[in-house]
Chain A
Amino acid sequence: MANNYLALNSISCGYGKSFNLNGISLSVARGAFAGIIGPNGSGKTTLFKGISGILPIKKGSICLSGVPLESMKLREKARKMAVVSQFPEGTDMTVQDYVLLGRLPHRNAFNFLESARDKVLARKYMRLTGIYHYREKQMSQLSGGEQQLAAIAQALTQEPELLLLDEPTSHLDINHQMQMLNLIQSLNKELNLTVLMIIHDLNLAAEYCDQLILINDGKIYTQGTPAEVLTFQNIEAVYNAVVIAQTNPLSGKPVIFPVSGNILKTHRTDINNHHKTMTDNRLFNQSNNNHKQ
């Protein structure tokens, strides 16, 4: 377990006494690309806030490379972990100034001026995220997607080891969604950045992540590879939705097809047959694997 970079040891957290995440344990390896999925209100965002330090952890502990987060200073934490939230703030700051704020955790608290290195880094990551030509514009003049890219550029200038993202694709079209995720994928591979993100779209989650954590009712329902997590049974149980799960022929990752109400009425038998085949295949594969071992 030496390469467990982020480890949550049965943590509980929540808002006041009203809603709690209970006994969440998970670990993300260094350099992994992990996704948190789950229905609305399942506790994804609560978990995200717990990890990023916005909500207090009431029980259990979170460790980064074996060091408990609560023993770290805020600035120290910010040098290891960068957070991109769902709605970056559209301030009247220029994009450049906004991105440069990512260097704050690396500067002495009372040092007001950016160093030459700060500027070099900001420039580098603005180029990488493709927002360099907007650098003199005000944040509020950018579109939602561009603001999110700027937020990622800012997070990268923090030079973190772990990048936390809250639904980075939520208000983007398919083209921009994929651009965004391709960017995060390349950061993950090239900078060996550990990525943990909340993502709603199950197909995008399956395609890009190598580890998925499915949350339901404040608990982890299951976790593992996309193929292990995104089965029609799990989705039916957690989301209460009937789907067909197949495999993307290129990537080998699962693809989820929704089954509409009308189809469900007219094709109940077909769906049952399909589900049965899927289950049989899975059992067959599993026993095959067991034989190999």
Chain B
Amino acid sequence: MSKPIHQLMFIGGQLVVLLVVVLASIATGEANIPISQTPEIVRSGEGTEYFILTQIRLPRIILAFAVGGALSLSGTILQGVFRNPLVEPYTLGISGGAAFGVALAIVGGLHLTGHGYMLPLAGFSGAAVTIFMVGILGFLRGGADITRMLLIGVMISFVASSSMMFLMSVTTAENLHGIIFWIMGSLDEPNHHLIKVATITSIIGLAGSYLFVNQLNALQLGKNKATHLGINTTLSVRILFIVASLLTGVCVSVAGVIGFVGLAVPHIIRLMTGGDHRLLLVSSFLGGSIFLIACDILARTVISPNELPIGVITGIIGGFVFMIVLNKSRIQKEHHGK
């Protein structure tokens, strides 16, 4: 079978799985709405059940789709650029910066104003400052030195999280609760404008990074080899870094810190599909969406009617799935080797 057909089939399979988790997620929740009745309810256009479906469950699914996809895409881009499977969106200090921004806003009482835009804005500002600092310090010496940027990101992450802990240790119990709640991440976003922003950003991010898919593939051979293949590596690395950072910044500011999607999902998808980014970018976006929607179903049902923070589920499930997949792939490789 030729390769493009193989790739399309993989993406087709993912779309089917995505449809299944979306339907499951629509049918899951406190109010018992059977999936067979949903077309009718949607058509009727009124009533509590209509409201629950279109104003509570659907926005949540869309947000999970966008955030899961964007985080996973961002992880794929960064792992590709840095050629290091341990890099994820948060390694570069973006989540630390965002969390610090939010903590600062909460301690300063800004969250009481601004119609719920204040915390996302503070989170995004924190993320943007971090991106800016990593970018400036990393790009300072002309050619974007990849290892240097990674180290700078890790250091900024430390500084940001320590500063945040400082704020947490001197503030009131109420603020502390607000900060912790935000850090744990949540897909419960009442502001539909923010959901729109996240969705549009993630789709644009996917399209934008796809324009650099040749460059990403060439960068897998190292910066020097990519240069020898006629790629302007410095420019490509910078653009890809900025795209990944913006995606992460928007996700963090809307949904808080949802760990592990950006680390584990790209890695698992890569083990399944191989290293061709023409497939990898799309399939890890879809993989991230599927993963986060599925995790959200669990977060809402495990201790129903209460809800677990989504980060708890992604961390636990993601961690175990990751270890199982890694172990399997090692066994397979050993078989191939012999």
Interface residues of A (CB under 8 A from B): 52-54, 73-79, 81-83, 85, 88-89, 91-94, 97-98, 101-102, 104-105, 107, 109-113, 138, 141, 158
Does B180 sit at the interface, judged by CB under 8 A? no
A85-B224, A91-B221, A141-B336 known; A105 vs B275 contact (CB < 8 Å): no
Closest chain A CB from B100 CB (angstroms): 36
A85-B224, A101-B217 known; A78 vs B229 contact (CB < 8 Å): yes
Q: Evaluate contact between A74 and B220: CB separation under 8 angstroms.
A: no
A54-B224, A83-B228 known; A104 vs B275 contact (CB < 8 Å): no
Q: Evaluate contact between A94 and B232: CB separation under 8 angstroms.
A: no
**Which residues of the partner chain A approach B333 to less than 8 Å between Cβ atoms?**
141
Name the CB-closest residue of B to A102.
Answer: B229
Does B12 sit at the interface, judged by CB under 8 A? no
Does B230 sit at the interface, judged by CB under 8 A? yes
Contact of A97 among B228, B230, B232, B276 (CB under 8 A): B276
Name the CB-closest residue of A to B274.
Answer: A92
Does B337 sit at the interface, judged by CB under 8 A? yes
Q: Evaluate contact between B214 and A107: CB separation under 8 angstroms.
A: yes
Name the CB-closest residue of B to A155.
Answer: B228
Does B227 sit at the interface, judged by CB under 8 A? yes
**Which residues of the partner chain A approach B210 to less than 8 Å between Cβ atoms?**
112
Contact of B275 among A52, A81, A92, A111 (CB under 8 A): A92
A102 to B217, CA, bound (A): 11
A102 to B218, CA, bound (A): 9
Closest chain B CB from A72 CB (angstroms): 10
Contact of A141 among B217, B276, B278, B337 (CB under 8 A): B337
Q: Evaluate contact between B218 and A89: CB separation under 8 angstroms.
A: no
Does B211 sit at the interface, judged by CB under 8 A? yes
Does B231 sit at the interface, judged by CB under 8 A? yes
Does B178 sit at the interface, judged by CB under 8 A? no
Q: Evaluate contact between A89 and B230: CB separation under 8 angstroms.
A: no
Q: Evaluate contact between A92 and B224: CB separation under 8 angstroms.
A: no
**Which residues of the partner chain B approach A97 to less than 8 Å between Cβ atoms?**
217, 274-276
Would you mind naming 21 contact pairs between A and B with Cβ atoms under 8 Å apart?
A53-B228, A54-B224, A54-B227, A73-B230, A79-B230, A81-B228, A82-B228, A83-B225, A85-B224, A85-B225, A88-B225, A89-B220, A89-B225, A91-B275, A92-B275, A93-B220, A104-B214, A107-B214, A110-B211, A111-B214, A158-B229
Q: How many residues of B contact A (CB 8 A)?
A: 26
Q: Evaluate contact between A112 and B220: CB separation under 8 angstroms.
A: no
Closest chain B CB from A274 CB (angstroms): 44
A94-B274, A138-B274 known; A89 vs B227 contact (CB < 8 Å): no
A94 to B275, CA, bound (A): 8
**Which residues of the partner chain A approach B67 to less than 8 Å between Cβ atoms?**
none
Q: Evaluate contact between A53 and B218: CB separation under 8 angstroms.
A: no
**Which residues of the partner chain A approach B230 to less than 8 Å between Cβ atoms?**
73-79, 104-105
A83 to B222, CA, bound (A): 13
Interface residues of B (CB under 8 A from A): 4, 210-211, 213-214, 217-218, 220-222, 224-225, 227-232, 270, 274-276, 278, 333, 336-337
Contact of B218 among A54, A92, A104, A113 (CB under 8 A): A104
A138 to B275, CA, bound (A): 9
| Beyond A78-B229, A104-B231, 8 extra complex contacts between A and B, CB < 8 Å | A85-B225, A89-B222, A91-B220, A93-B220, A93-B275, A97-B217, A104-B214, A110-B214
Name the CB-closest residue of A to B273.
Answer: A92
Closest chain B CB from A155 CB (angstroms): 8
Closest chain A CB from B59 CB (angstroms): 33
A85 to B231, CA, bound (A): 16
Q: Evaluate contact between A101 and B232: CB separation under 8 angstroms.
A: no
How many residue pairs bridge A and B at CB < 8 Å? 75
Top 8 closest pairs, chain A to chain B, by CB: A78-B230, A75-B230, A105-B230, A83-B228, A92-B275, A93-B275, A89-B221, A74-B230
Q: Evaluate contact between A53 and B220: CB separation under 8 angstroms.
A: no
Max chain A CB contacts within 10 Å: which of B227, B229, B232, B276?
B229
A60 to B274, CA, bound (A): 44
Contact of A74 among B211, B213, B232, B276 (CB under 8 A): B232
**Which residues of the partner chain A approach B217 to less than 8 Å between Cβ atoms?**
93, 97, 101
Q: Evaluate contact between A112 and B227: CB separation under 8 angstroms.
A: no
A234 to B218, CA, bound (A): 42
Closest chain A CB from B221 CB (angstroms): 5
**Which residues of the partner chain A approach B337 to less than 8 Å between Cβ atoms?**
141
**Which residues of the partner chain B approach A73 to less than 8 Å between Cβ atoms?**
230
A53-B228, A78-B229, A83-B228 known; A93 vs B214 contact (CB < 8 Å): no
Name the CB-closest residue of B to A98.
Answer: B221
Contact of B221 among A75, A81, A101 (CB under 8 A): A101
A83 to B223, CA, bound (A): 13
A92-B274, A141-B337 known; A53 vs B221 contact (CB < 8 Å): no
Closest chain A CB from B335 CB (angstroms): 11
**Which residues of the partner chain A approach B211 to less than 8 Å between Cβ atoms?**
110
Name the CB-closest residue of B to A92.
Answer: B275
A54 to B275, CA, bound (A): 25
**Which residues of the partner chain A approach B336 to less than 8 Å between Cβ atoms?**
141
**Which residues of the partner chain A approach B220 to less than 8 Å between Cβ atoms?**
89, 91, 93
Name the CB-closest residue of B to A109.
Answer: B214
**Which residues of the partner chain A approach B276 to less than 8 Å between Cβ atoms?**
93, 97
Closest chain B CB from A52 CB (angstroms): 6
